[in-house]
Amino acid sequence: MLKHATKIYYDLLPDYSVSVLVYGSTEWDVFRSMNHLYAWADAEMTQYELVDITNTTAQQRMNLGVFDGCQY
C-alpha cells in the first residue's frame, strides 16, 4: 500500500524562523529554524513533502493548494 506524503508548507521569515502549515490543519506553527522543522518532521511523520511558499502572494498560495486541506 502506497502512502501519500503529508505536505508541509513553510514560509522562511526574516529572522530565519519558519512559519509552517501542515496540509489539513487550520493552525500555523512556528519553528526556530529549518533544522528544527526537519527534526520535528522526521520524528512525527514517515513521509512528508516540504513546499516552500516564501515570498509568495495569497493568490499564488491558493494556486499551490495551501488552503485546500483547511477544515474550518
pLDDT tens-place string over residues 16-42: 999 999 998 889 999 999 999 999 999
| Of 46, 47, 51, 56, nearest in space to 9 by CA | 51
pLDDT tens-place string over residues 41-66: 999 999 999 999 999 999 999 898 88
Is beta strand 48-52 parallel, antiparallel or unpaired with respect to 6-12? parallel
Whose cell is 498560495? That residue is 61
| Whether pLDDT at 69 is above 80 | no
Measured distance CA(18)–CA(9) in Å, rounded: 10
Measured distance CA(30)–CA(11) in Å, rounded: 9
